[in-house]
Amino acid sequence: MSHAEGHAEGHVDLPVAARVRRLEERVVAAGLTTDAELDAFLARFLERASPMNGARLAARAWTDPAFKERMLADGNAAVAELGLGPADPARQAYRLMVVENTGTTHNVIVCTLCSCYPVALLGPSPSWYKSHAYRARVVREPRAVLAEFGLELPESTRIAVWDSSSEARYLVLPRRPEATADLDEDALARLVTREGLIGTALV
């Protein structure tokens, strides 16, 4: 059984890229910055944006039950705690929701109207995440889509599909792999993939 959760109120009909460019043009026209400064800021941001950041969150949650509880209650605060976002969680531009895979539920994230997701924690989004086919089909037939990624889930596993927006972004906390009790946090983080944090693969 699949279902879509989350919301899309933060989206508008105008394509995101066009909206962003219009805003950039207004800021530049007002003399507040330049195209070169904007490009440099984006380059610095993307240098720090990596799936390893999300992997660190997952590994810490697997090894620290108290941190995991805090992360599931307030993803922004957990990100700030590890120094992966603004020191003040209230300054984060969106609310980070972390959803946990369990023995009975598997989570997968999508952004049906564009391609919102936590870039700082996952790096630039893969092309398939932005594709219309993924965005349209994963909500309607998540089990079939996951199977195409090579992820065959038991029929008894409930699949929860979470729809990101400009206000809320989602991150999957994968299940800790078996036989990893002897691994430290750094070693565990190296096992986590971007696909695992999106929900299209297991770890």
Task: Note the pLDDT tens digit of each residue in 180-190.
Answer: 999 999 999 99
Mean pLDDT on 164-192: 96
- CA 70 to the chain's CA centroid: 17
Residue whose entry in the numeric block shows the structure tokens 């026209």:
29
* Cβ neighbours, 10 Å, residue 20: 10
The pLDDT value recorded for residue 79 is: 95
Architecture of the domain made up of 2-13+49-198? Alpha-Beta Complex (3.90)
**Per-residue DSSP letter, 102:** -
Which tens digit of pLDDT belongs to each residue from 52-82? 999 999 999 999 999 999 999 999 999 999 9
Q: Choose between 175 and 47: higher pLDDT.
A: 175
175 in Cβ contact with 101 (< 8 Å): yes
Catalytic positions are: 111, 114-116
pTM of the model: 0.78
Taking the domains of the chain in order of start, what are their residue ranges?
A: 2-13+49-198
- Please state, in angstroms and rounded to a whole number, the distance separating the CA atoms of residues 131 and 136: 9
Strand partners, 97: 170
